[in-house]
């Protein structure tokens, strides 16, 4: 009987010890999670060390969360520290306002925890998808030269002023951000674009796409329109009275009337083989004009 009691007691003690060890392990794991960020990309960590952000100064695939949380500007542009392909750990930089990671090899990025971001520079990577739903404070977003064909959550960026999506893979695009003033989308494969909601748009760059038509009737504040190297046949600029620069060379224009654009100072309309006459108003003077030898400016175009 004593033996049975002894054995039972030993088993109970063993169980209690096991529970305590397990609890300690969980606490240790929780403590690690609370204190440290995983930084699996050695090039990412090397730059953080070089910039004095990763305070332990050792390449060990981790850094203190406290160090990350104190950073407001993070410049990770290409350097001698190597190429970054994984930005795991960026979620700990919760105070970040500006992030620049240009000319690396990122294929994706999770910015859901970086809610204070106002400047995002990711040009020259291989990013195919991006979601900025949790980045409502964005003012400048430059993601040119990637592999994007869409941007998720863009409408949440109510303060966005400049957006650069050039050199990507967009076939269609719609932007409804009222705050947007500058949109760059050259060198895509755009067939359709809707800028109706971008009522404060001043500058738009759509050079080298596959557009056959554009509608800027709602963008009455436009000053610069660069849309050369497309397939546009007709364009109505009647409502764009503040237009100063119009580049529409190498298209398929049949007619063009810039009589409503009295502020125009720079017009490029050459290499439109079916366009012989560009209609202007009497007395209208455009200081800089680029036309082909078979074209003319005239107040009357038959």
Task: Band the pLDDT of 116: cuts 50, 70, 90.
Answer: very high
Task: Band the pLDDT of 15: cuts 50, 70, 90.
Answer: low
- How confident is the model at residue 290, as a pLDDT? 97
Q: Which of 7-11, 98-102, 210-214, 254-258 has the lowest mean pLDDT?
A: 7-11
**Structural domain harbouring 197:** 68-298
In whole angstroms, give the CA distance from residue 165 to residue 290. 27
Mark whether 275 and 145 lie in a shared domain. yes
pLDDT in tens, 120-135: 999 999 999 999 999 9
Query: What phi and psi values does residue 90 have, to the nearest 5 degrees?
Result: -65, -20
- How confident is the model at residue 79, as a pLDDT? 78
- On whether residue 59 sits in a domain, the answer given is no
Mark whether 30 and 152 lie in a shared domain. no
Count the domains in the chain.
Answer: 2
- On whether residue 53 sits in a domain, the answer given is no
Mark whether 107 and 212 lie in a shared domain. yes
- How confident is the model at residue 292, as a pLDDT? 97
In whole angstroms, give the CA distance from residue 289 to residue 256. 14
Mark whether 180 and 89 lie in a shared domain. yes
Alpha helices in the chain (DSSP H): 2-35, 42-50, 65-69
- In eight-state DSSP terms, residue 75 is E
- How confident is the model at residue 78, as a pLDDT? 80
Residue 47 CA: distances (Å) to CA of 53, 93, 105 = 9, 15, 15
Higher pLDDT, 2 or 256: 256
Task: Band the pLDDT of 80: cuts 50, 70, 90.
Answer: confident
- On whether residue 52 sits in a domain, the answer given is no
Q: Which of 79-83, 141-145, 195-199 has the lowest mean pLDDT?
A: 79-83
């Amino acid at each position: 009987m004593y033996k049975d009691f002894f054995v039972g007691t030993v088993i109970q003690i063993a169980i209690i010890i096991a529970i305590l060890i397990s609890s300690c392990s969980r606490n240790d794991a929780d403590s690690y999670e609370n204190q440290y960020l995983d930084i699996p990309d050695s090039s990412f960590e090397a730059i953080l060390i070089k910039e004095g952000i990763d305070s332990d100064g050792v390449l060990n695939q981790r850094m203190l969360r406290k160090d990350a949380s104190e950073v407001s500007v993070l410049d990770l542009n290409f350097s001698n520290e190597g190429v970054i392909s994984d930005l795991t750990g960026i979620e700990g930089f919760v105070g970040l306002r500006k992030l620049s990671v240009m000319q690396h090899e990122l294929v994706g990025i999770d910015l859901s925890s970086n809610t204070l971001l106002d400047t995002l520079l990711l040009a020259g990577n291989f990013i195919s998808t991006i979601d900025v739903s949790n980045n409502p404070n964005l003012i400048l977003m430059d993601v040119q030269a990637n592999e994007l064909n869409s941007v998720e959550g863009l409408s949440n960026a109510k303060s966005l002023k400049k957006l650069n999506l050039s050199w990507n893979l967009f076939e269609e695009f719609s932007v409804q951000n009222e705050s947007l003033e500058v949109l760059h989308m050259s060198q895509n494969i755009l067939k359709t674009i809707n800028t109706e909601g971008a009522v404060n748009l001043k500058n738009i760059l759509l050079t080298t796409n596959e557009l056959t038509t554009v509608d800027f009737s709602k963008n009455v504040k436009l000053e610069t329109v660069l849309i050369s190297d497309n397939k546009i046949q007709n364009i109505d600029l009647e409502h764009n009275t503040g237009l100063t620069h119009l580049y529409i060379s190498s298209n398929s224009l049949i007619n063009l009337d810039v009589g409503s654009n009295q502020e125009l100072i720079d017009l490029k309309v050459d290499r439109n083989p079916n366009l012989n006459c560009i209609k202007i108003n009497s007395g209208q003077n455009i200081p800089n004009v680029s036309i082909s030898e078979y074209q003319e400016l005239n107040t009357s175009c038959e």
